[in-house]
A and B are shown apart, each in its own frame.
Chain A
């Protein structure tokens, strides 16, 4: 459930097909994933899951797996 929602949001923010999103996706392999779009992603995730990340969580993210881990910390499942 959250896996799919995260996939849909990431695909939308970085304008890529959902099939290209996996746990290893991150700034290193998605071209549009720059710092600004990264913040847009944070905003979209927060609005969607009704949570608020801390600054350390945001700066810590290296890939999609990290995002899912932090979401779990916010009791999103």
Chain B
């Protein structure tokens, strides 16, 4: 349930966010009165521990702000800009008069409007490095053409659709431009709710007070992604969450799944979860049950949508739910603040809320038919871009679970590594790899020697610079493909090479892959007649796993640098194969 606008305005007056570690600068540009939105975003950001700073353009000043490189708006340097336009203002008199124009004049008008948007966007890209979210236009339910709107050669609705389509095309080809589907927002909540003629005439208010908080919620999807406060994993209970009834009491045939109305609701919920899994959201089970009873349903029930392979961690036992949740977080190596917890039991919800406030605990409604719409409403799973690795993530975590099971079953680490049959493919950076390479530098914290963060643009520049080598490693084994999980960036000097960046995704740590990659860099340097390799270790709160890597490998410390003389022998790990592409 959303709070009311006046509650948000009240709350926003008492925010002390001076000690939040994350910061965000937001600009709101609009063509109509958006009072209250700023307060809503401020409160919502503070709730997530994000320090919110904002710039709000004067009433309908967005054109001047975006077209003038010296404007206060550009001086503010926002991280993200919301450009919120309305169709009445945008079309001017032609909102009412479009139907009386000639066919040619109509086409000309639409073209002019699209050019106007393109011009604004070009200016934005020239003057800002940040993200721009632009709203598309609501197609009014009314048409002056009445029932023959669709028979008209170029009707009002068709023209607005054309403008919306152009906006969509722009966002496809421009990385920093996003289109928020305002038309969908209006159809979700209803035109009569969103637009109130009285509020419009009194103060040019085009989103009613009652629905402004919902609009703010929608914009938070972008803010959560850009501040990294989005979620990556859903932890699920089983009984009365994934199916109706209690399998331990009602039995395999007694639970509700498919067939009945309730049963269909659970199937629908599972389908929605599967679709999130297919887009890279990790699923896990936390259930008090007899393991065999529950697994029989997961393996054999004909109506079950989610199967064992969809779960990265399976905790079915009689342990404390909080303890299980920690186990899951540990097993898949993901922070508690990335987890969403679904459990029908109020006591369990309270337990997790108290123990781990950073977990997003959902208050599940009693009626399972509300589960799937509730999940669709959550704006916590959005990403600003999706790489191949993201879509394969669910599968990769399942493979990871199988590796862990193998690790438990063999007696020592060497046997485990041999059994895994690891293959490392070394690749030089190219246009398809650049987004992933940048992504890894931005989010790898643990095995990272220097923790230097690079945007795509910077990786692109290094890759085309002959003084640098940008490479990455894909890691495969008998359970599957771990994807691109290692990155290195080398600065080439005449006699020595400097390792600017060397990192490994946490999911493949501890398998000798780091040694294999480093050995190849050394061999490459040797071949190029280089005398020594220099490397740095810059300690952070999180990169202890990489602390001893250089000294263990044989680097010697001189002042602030770690040095490896290339006349030394270079040892190669023998449990894995390396391919160079």
List residues of chain A with CB under 8 Å of any chain B CB.
Answer: 12-13, 15, 35-36, 39-40, 43-44, 47, 52, 55, 58-59
Q: Which of B203-236 contact A (CB under 8 A)?
A: 203, 205, 209-210
Does the CB pair B5–A43 fall under 8 Å?
yes
A36-B6 in contact (CB<8A)? no
Q: Are A43 and B10 in contact (CB under 8 A)?
A: no
Which residue of the partner chain A has the closest CB to B35?
A36
- In the complex, how many angstroms separate the beta carbon of A42 from the nearest chain B beta carbon? 8
Tell whether A55 pairs with B203 under 8 Å between CB atoms, given A12-B6, A36-B35: no
Query: Given A12-B10, A15-B10, A15-B13, is A39 in contact with B202 using a C-beta cutoff of 8 Å?
Result: yes
Chain B interface residues (CB < 8 Å from chain A) = 4-6, 9-10, 13, 33, 35-36, 198-199, 201-203, 205, 209-210
29 contacts between A and B (CB under 8 A): A12-B6, A12-B10, A13-B6, A15-B10, A36-B33, A36-B35, A36-B36, A36-B203, A39-B199, A39-B202, A39-B205, A39-B209, A40-B5, A40-B6, A40-B9, A40-B36, A40-B209, A43-B5, A43-B6, A43-B209, A43-B210, A44-B4, A44-B6, A47-B210, A52-B198, A55-B198, A55-B202, A58-B198, A59-B202
Residues of B within 8 A of A52 (CB): 198
The 7 closest A-B pairs by CB, nearest first: A36-B35, A43-B209, A40-B6, A13-B6, A39-B203, A44-B6, A55-B198
Beyond A12-B6, A13-B6, whether A55 also contacts B35 by CB under 8 A is no
Inside 8 A of A58's CB, which chain B residues have their CB? 198, 202
A15–B14 CA distance with the chains assembled, in angstroms: 11
Q: How far is the CA of A40 from the CA of B5 in the complex (A)?
A: 8
Chain A residues with CB under 8 Å of B198's CB are: 52, 55, 58
Q: A13 to chain B: which residues have CB within 8 Å?
A: 6
Complex alpha-carbon distance, A52 and B9, angstroms: 22
Which residues of chain A are within 8 angstroms of B202 by Cβ–Cβ distance? 39, 55, 58-59
Complex: A66 Cα to B104 Cα, angstroms: 54
**In this complex, what residue of B is CB-closest to A59?**
B202
Q: Which residues of A contact B35 (CB under 8 A)?
A: 36
13 more CB-based (< 8 A) A-B contacts, given A15-B10, A40-B209: A12-B6, A36-B35, A36-B36, A36-B203, A39-B202, A39-B203, A39-B205, A43-B209, A43-B210, A47-B210, A52-B198, A55-B198, A55-B202
> B9 — which chain A residues lie within 8 A by C-beta?
40
User: How far, in whole Å, are A65 and B471 apart by their CA atoms in the complex?
Assistant: 75
Q: How far is the CA of A36 from the CA of B13 in the complex (A)?
A: 16
- Complex formed: what's the CA distance from A17 to B513 in Å? 66
A44 to chain B, nearest CB (A): 6
B39 to chain A minimum Cβ distance, whole angstroms, is 11
